[in-house]
Structure 1
Amino acid sequence: MTLTSNSLFFTTLFVTALMFGAVVWLWPRLARQGWRQLLGRIGLILVVQVLTLSAVGLAANRSFLIYGSWTELAGREKPAPISQDAGGTSAVKLIGRQKPDVPGGVNKFLGGELEKVMIQGERSKIATQAYVYLPPEYFQKGNEKRVFPAAVVLTGFPGTAENLLHGLRYPKTALSLSKQKKTQPMVLVLMRPTVAPPRNTQCVDIKDGPQTETFFGTDLPKALTGAYRIGASPRSLGIMGDSTGGYCALKVALEHPEAYSAGVGLSADYAPEIDGESGDLFHGNAAEEKRADLLWALDHLPQGKTNFLVTTSLQGESNYRPTQKFIAKVKDPARVSSITLDHGGHNFKTWNREIPPSLEWLSARLTTE
């Protein structure tokens, strides 16, 4: 059974209920004095606690899709191997197609289509999976040569790309906004920033390690425009994400205006977090460590014609003050907008409130002309 399957979750609930009943039934027999009865009581309590915590953990993981597999949970997930079929170039390889969870999703002319792909980077030598949502207009008659804007959407760490399909419902929201004429039809590239699992590389090029910034800043745009009818200009491509994905989106948009014209950070960090999951990102390179701090970079590096959107909350978010500093440091020719909620938190509920206006903002700043 897979980690996120219904069968595992409900089996765990059923076994927990059975064990609780067994405890109630057996407890009188174990109430007598004696070391065997004592060990029996301790064992029953431990088993029930372990099963209860497992059920709670599985429920939380099903809701937030923190881990997508047993290997990922155990920290043994390995990066995808580089395919030799593409001849060392940036490329997109189709793995499969599925119906998106949107109204009319059974018909691609009404609900669009969801492709699961493997994206291979030419310069970074990184290969990683993603979902590509193609809007219904992509397939409709008369649009065979139409070029579309696109948004790369990143989840947080250690989340899975499925977060963006289910918990955050990007395709469903994008389709609804498009039907209401609040946004233009856009291609969505849904993925996680963890392209070298299990390490949290936070979109940094690591010496003798994963070249994550190169993948997102250079390889990914090239691969997407080569595989789909997406505008080749940076004005056709934006990037957005939440939490660690929000930091990556802002970082890549700031440092690669030649590839992306807009970046959206939902509850974003503004500097990489160095811990056991990231490892040593900079290996003593002080210049690269400073460049990775977005507040420092805004003060010391040239700012291109990039549009930024950042979100925070007056209460419930720890990034309120850094967000205000980020806003103050953005200078012409760059532009910055913001969303500040009265109350919010670092969670799906808050981001689901922010995603619709963020997609509207992004759509208004992307063009294929």
Structure 2
Amino acid sequence: MSLTGNAFFILLVVVTVVAVVATLLLWNQVRGPRAVRLVTRLVLIGVCQLTAIAVVATWINNANGLYTSWADLFGEQQGAGPVAAGAAQTVFTRGEGATQETTFRGRWSGVTGQAIVWTPPQYQDPKYAHDSFPVMMLLHGVPGGPLSWIRGGQVLTALGRMMTSGEVSPAIVVIPSIDAGGRDTDCSDTPRQKNATWLMRDVHDLVTSRFRALNGPHDWSVIGFSTGGLCAVKLAMQYPQELGSAVGLSPDDFHGDRSALPDPKLRQLNSPLWLAKKRPPVSLFVATSSKDRFSTVPNVKDLEKVVQWPTVLSTPMILNDGGHNWGTWRGLFQVVFPWASDHLEAPHPLRPIAKPKPGPTSLASSGRIRTPLHR
């Protein structure tokens, strides 16, 4: 039975109700010495509390995508191998588009993580049969997982509606784990964990090799919230050959998280405030709330002070109200996704792109020009 399935959640609710009813019925039926009666009643109370806690924990997990499977919960990722042509499996489809999910071990990073890929309604439309699509990469917070965008954010429903109405141009959406391998590094490469490589090479290759995806820097935009918001801004500044724009919703401290990157030098090298000195040619947009105690207004203003052309930072959006939660972030979708769409190329037949000079941030350093599979 799936950890995140409705069947398991309903089962827990039923077990909780049964436990409460059983406690009421058995409370005065307990026999034996006083110590035995006391212990038995404590056990009955404990069972009620445990089942109630399990219901609440499962609801929180399903809403935020903290753990996506039993193996994920217990730290086991058996059977995950290098990404292959048949890695992705369809898990469900919606009227707004089709969604596929896979867990794989990255060929370049060596770490294992989950990636969910959604194709827009237009993807199967005969009018777009020969077109390739731009890509939006969505990054979740920590703790959390890719499913938090779908269950907590209801993002696929929102994007399907906006792409159908024309508010947002059709785009493929990929939602990867940002802490692949179970280790949060603020989406950075460390000696022990190459999460930046996982996102920018392994996930990138998965999408461009299996879907009709465009692969130029103005064909990919990254959007994240909380830790994912920090990651979005950071990755765009580190990988301008692959990402042309980024959105940070309630981003974590741009100086970095000591618990994620204990090495001060590594933390500095991965800070957007330090990366701004390189003046990468990317467009950025950040939004937060004046009442968000996790993502402060001074943090956003610090970025505004250091950004210089050709890096472009749109005027930050500071809400008067709103917390560090989906109620706030969903309210920003009508601004965020049209902004990202405006910074992406429209779907069109795939054209060869000029290969950037080989370097540590180049996905084309192997000399390959990707030709997505025709779907």
Normalising by the smaller structure, the TM-score range is: 0.7 to 0.9
Query: 2:52 and 2:144 mapped to 1: Cα distance?
Result: 23
Deviation of 1:145 (Å): 2.4
Q: Which of residues 164, 173, 198 in structure 2 aligns to 1:188?
A: 173
Counterparts of 1:1-369 in structure 2, within 5 Å, are 1-29=1-29, 34-74=34-74, 76-78=75-77, 81-83=80-82, 93-101=86-94, 105=95, 111-117=96-102, 121-196=106-181, 198-207=182-191, 209-269=192-252, 270-275=254-259, 278=260, 281=261, 284=263, 286-298=264-276, 301-320=277-296, 321-337=298-314, 338-367=316-345
Cα shift at 1:204: 1.3
CA deviation vs aligned residue, 1:224-246 (integer Å, no higher than 9, x gap): 33333322320111111112222
CA distance in 1 between counterparts of 2:47 and 2:159 reads 45
CA RMSD of aligned residues (A): 2.6
Secondary structure of the 1:55 match is helix
Residues 157 and 192 of structure 1 are in contact (CA less than 8 Å); yes or no, is this contact kept in structure 2? Answer: no
Shift of 1:322: 0.8
Percent identity reads 25
- Which digits, 9 at most, give the CA deviation of each residue in 1:323-344, with x for residues without a partner? 2222222221111122222221
Residues 137-187 of structure 1: CA distance to partner in whole angstroms, max 9, x if unpaired?
A: 222224232232111112222323222233222222222112222221111
Counterpart residue number, 2:363: none
Q: Structure 1 pair 33/119, CA: closer, same or farther in 2 (3 Å)?
A: closer
CA 1:119/1:355 → structure 2, altered by over 3 Å: closer, same or farther?
farther
**Cα distance change on mapping 1:343 and 1:331 into 2, 3 Å:** same
TM-score of the pair, normalised by structure 2: 0.82
Give the equivalent residue in structure 1 for 2:369.
none
SS in 1 for 2:47: helix
Q: SS at 2:89's partner residue?
A: strand
CA separation of 1:96/1:222 partners in 2, compared to 1, >3 Å: closer, same or farther?
A: closer
Distance 1:210 1:227, change over 3 A: same
Alpha-carbon spacing, 1:92–1:363, altered in 2? closer, same or farther (3 Å): farther
Distance 1:355 1:42, change over 3 A: same
8 Å Cα contact 1:257-1:305 kept in structure 2: yes
In structure 2, relative to structure 1, the CA distance for the partners of 1:98 and 1:54 (3 Å cut) is: closer
Structure 1: any 5+ residue segments left out of the alignment?
106-110
Asked if 1 retains the 8 angstrom alpha-carbon contact of 2:77 and 2:112, the reply is no
Deviation, 1:80, is 6.7
For residues 232 and 70 of structure 1, do their structure 2 counterparts lie closer, same or farther at Cα, with a shift above 3 Å needed?
A: closer
**In structure 1, distance between residues paired with 2:238 and 2:79:** 26
Structure 2 contact 64–147 (Cα < 8 Å) conserved? no
Distance in 1 separating the partners of 2:41 and 2:111:
52
In structure 2, distance between residues paired with 1:121 and 1:234: 22
Q: Which runs of 5+ in 2 are unaligned?
A: 349-375
- Aligned partner letter, 1:97: T
Amino acid at match of 2:232: A
- Number of aligned residue pairs: give it: 344
Q: Is the 8 A contact 2:258 2:267 kept in 1?
A: no
Q: What is the one-letter code of the residue matched to 1:176?
A: R
Q: Any conservation in 1 of the 2:176–2:199 contact (CA below 8 Å)? A: no
Amino acid paired to 2:150: L
- Post-superposition shift, 1:273? 2.8
Is this contact kept in 1: 2:282–2:310, CA < 8 A? yes
TM-score, structure 1 as length reference: 0.83
* AA of the residue aligned to 1:202: D
Q: Residues 21, 225 of structure 1: CA spacing in aligned structure 2 closer, same or farther, 3 A cutoff?
A: closer
- Match in the other structure for 1:108: none
Change over 3 Å in CA distance of 1:128–1:336 after alignment to 2: same
Question: Which contiguous aligned blocks of 4+ residues in structure 1 show a shift greater than 6 angstroms?
Answer: none
Aligned to 1:166, the other structure's residue is in SS state: helix
